[in-house]
Amino acid sequence: MATGLAREWMGVSTSKDRAGTLRLLVDRPCGGFVVNDQQPAHLRTIADAIGEADRAAWVPVTFDSCEHIVGPFFHGTKTDFAIGDELVAGHGSNYHEGRVANHVYFAALLEPAIWGAELAAARGGEASQERIYIVEPTGPFEDDPNVTNKRFPGNVTESYRTRHPMRIVGEVEHWESHPPEVLQGMLDNIAKLRADGLDVIED
């Protein structure tokens, strides 16, 4: 899967080296930097993460304890942003007409952001374009309660939310999309939940 992560981030380039690993200087919201020189964990699929859930030692991420999560982080949408822009809460939801989001949602896995971009663009019509941004927290964040300890233990999708702005520091140029029939299946499932009054989002 290609990710095209060549972007300037606070004066530091993020890119894959010849070994296929990602050298990334990660800004920690609680202060300081960490060099991530490992095989990119963000390229794991949700299915891979679910398969590892029983073996993983989940540590809750709360507003008071988030410094152990270092990213990179991704946000999928249909909106065109520029590097340096900030995503803020209080705008209409990408996924539910008439709903205002009280948090900004993001993930440390790329696939949840792919889903976010695909679902947002599908709701926006044919002219909408899928976009995935690399984002940086400007304040504390917590596990997304909508997907944490639900069907699987812990936060297997590594999805988070914050009330603080998320700064855009890069854009993912290429990714592997879900097949059309899989995307349509997700849209149909969301529509059924909505029709049954079960599309409850804890926000």
Residue linked to tokens 């070994």: 19
Q: Is residue 7 part of a domain?
A: no
Residue 167 has pLDDT above 90, yes or no: yes
CATH, residue 50: 3.20.170.40
Among candidate residues 117, 110, 98, the one with its CA nearest the CA of residue 45: 110
Among candidate residues 129, 140, 112, 190, the one with its CA nearest the CA of residue 29: 140
Residue ranges in the chain assigned as alpha helix (H): 46-51, 110-124, 180-195
Q: Is residue 159 part of a domain?
A: yes
Q: Is residue 87 part of a domain?
A: yes
Q: Is residue 74 part of a domain?
A: yes
**pLDDT, position 2:** 33
Spatial separation of the C-alpha atoms in residues 107 and 184, rounded to whole Å: 22
Both tokens assigned to 89:
């809460």
Among candidate residues 8, 193, 77, the one with its CA nearest the CA of residue 201: 193
| Residue 140 belongs to domain spanning | 44-195
Q: Is residue 81 part of a domain?
A: yes
> What pLDDT, in 10s, does the model give residues 42-57?
888 888 888 777 655 7
Q: Is residue 160 part of a domain?
A: yes
Assign 10 a pLDDT band (cuts: 50, 70, 90). very low
Residue 168 has pLDDT above 90, yes or no: yes
Q: Is residue 12 part of a domain?
A: no
Assign 158 a pLDDT band (cuts: 50, 70, 90). very high
Where is pLDDT greater, at 32 or 132? Answer: 132
Question: Which residues does 191 contact at the CB level (< 8 Å), separation at least 6?
Answer: none
Q: What is the mean pLDDT of the chain?
A: 78
The number of folded domains in the chain is 1
Q: Is residue 189 part of a domain?
A: yes
Least confident window among 39-43, 118-122, 136-140: 39-43
Spatial separation of the C-alpha atoms in residues 174 and 4, rounded to whole Å: 6
